[in-house]
Structure 1
Amino acid sequence: MDLQISVFLLFILFTAGHSLSCYECMSATGSCADQKLKTCPIESSQCKSSTSVAQVGDSILKAKNCVPACQSGSLNLGTSKTTYSCCTTDQCNLQDAPDPSNVPNGKTCYTCDVQSCSTILNCLGDEDRCVTVTATSVGQSISVKGCASKSICGTTASVHGIGSISCCEGNLCNGDQSVSQSFLFLCCSLLSYFLLH
């Protein structure tokens, strides 16, 4: 009996001593100067840092946190561009994710505005795939389109409110179908998901 208690206590000490620690912050000022060190919950296996630039007003949002899973890369929906840096060691997200690239790479994909998804978007940096993200909101299916890094396309895990993330290769391969009136709601939801998860 004493051996079982000793093994149990040793297990508790061992697992508690190996919890991942990451920096945490959320800043709309373009700097994570007030970041804090955080011990991650057991289900979090990675640290994430993200930088988002909204095309309207050029506001910059920086975020850092613990996440269950993450892929480094870039997502460009036309109205916002976000880069993600993900890592797996203690305090590895000390540096901010880099600002999204502004260098066109020759790839083009469709993106959505309030009226339709027929606007052509020039992909930037390492964005080598076209992406379509579909969600259901108030009983309506909503889609947004843009450019993404190949690594982002691998994040197809089930996400609350998001039905699917699909990527394709080739210029304008993500179609130009119309968009519903809930476009802005979905853009805000997607941005908050990718920043906070």
Structure 2
Amino acid sequence: MDLQISVFLLFLIFSAGHSLQCFECGIKTDSCVNQTAITCPAGSCCQTSSGEIQDGDFTAKGTSKSCDSDCESWSYNYGYARITKSCCNTDLCNLPDPPDPVPNGKKCYTCNEKSCWKTLSCTGDEDHCLTITANVDGQLMVRKGCIHKSLCNATSDVQSISCCEGNLCNGAQSVTQSFLFLCCSLLSYFLLH
């Protein structure tokens, strides 16, 4: 009988004592050189997040690693800004820094300050095109780009989020294009009647 109790207690110690270990580092502008291994809470996974912002000749990159209770990988890309999150669930699996993004063949429209006519090559798991409309300080702001499907239903304080699956499905309309189309339609109506 004592042998059964000893085996049971030994089983409890080993099964409860193993938690996932992940590398951790705060946001680093290069790579996570001085990362440390930490033990994660039960139900967590390891995650690596990376971001890149481009403005003309200026480029800023950052990477962070940690434990995460929301174990879902995703990415989004507006052309000038891209953020990715990758997750894994084995000990110290988030060691390597994220690889450079690889185009996946999908294309979506993106916006600059003047219009939304520029096309963007999606990368990695970005499988949908995105259009976001929001009111920021009284001005209507539109952002377009590539996104992972899981983020399409995310709640936010934006007025409108729409996702679609086909190439260039998020449209390239601009105010100028709509106005010119309206003017041409009115002109042809007056000329023909």
Give deviations 1:112-146, integer Å, cap 9, x for gaps: 33455x13232143333212356787798865321
State the partner residue of 1:100.
Answer: 101
Is contact 1:108–1:120 with CA below 8 Å preserved after alignment? Answer: no
Cα separation, 2, equivalents of 1:74 and 1:89: 21
1:167-178 aligned at under 5 Å gives the runs: 167-176=163-172
My pick for the range that moved more, 22-31 or 119-128, is 119-128
**What is the percent sequence identity of the aligned residues?**
45
Q: Secondary structure at the match of 2:62?
A: strand
Cα separation, 1, equivalents of 2:155 and 2:120: 27
Higher relative contact order (CA 8 A, sep 6+): 1
Q: Greater CA radius of gyration, 1 or 2?
A: 2
Cα separation, 2, equivalents of 1:35 and 1:160: 32
Cα separation, 1, equivalents of 2:49 and 2:107: 24
Residues 1:54 and 1:13: Cα distance change in structure 2 (over 3 Å): same
Cα separation, 1, equivalents of 2:83 and 2:91: 23
Shift of 1:66: 1.5
What TM-score comes out, normalization by structure 2 length? 0.63
Is contact 1:156–1:164 with CA below 8 Å preserved after alignment? Answer: no
Residues 1:166 and 1:18: Cα distance change in structure 2 (over 3 Å): farther
Shift of 1:47: 1.1
State the AA in 1 paired with 2:69.
Answer: P
Shift of 1:48: 1.0
Count of matched residue pairs: 164
Cα separation, 1, equivalents of 2:24 and 2:138: 34
- Alpha-carbon RMSD across the aligned residues, in angstroms, is 3.9
Cα separation, 2, equivalents of 1:14 and 1:162: 48
Consecutive unaligned residues of structure 2, counting only runs of 5 or more, are 1-8, 175-193
Shift of 1:94: 1.0
State the partner residue of 1:32.
Answer: 32
Is contact 1:83–1:98 with CA below 8 Å preserved after alignment? Answer: no
State the AA in 2 paired with 1:175.
Answer: G
Cα separation, 1, equivalents of 2:118 and 2:166: 13
What TM-score comes out, normalization by structure 1 length? 0.62
1:40-119 aligned at under 5 Å gives the runs: 40-42=40-42, 45-56=44-55, 57-101=58-102, 103=103, 105=105, 107-116=106-115, 118-119=116-117
Give deviations 1:56-91, integer Å, cap 9, x for gaps: 212221111222224335421111123432101221
Cα separation, 1, equivalents of 2:162 and 2:15: 37
Residues 1:19 and 1:170: Cα distance change in structure 2 (over 3 Å): same
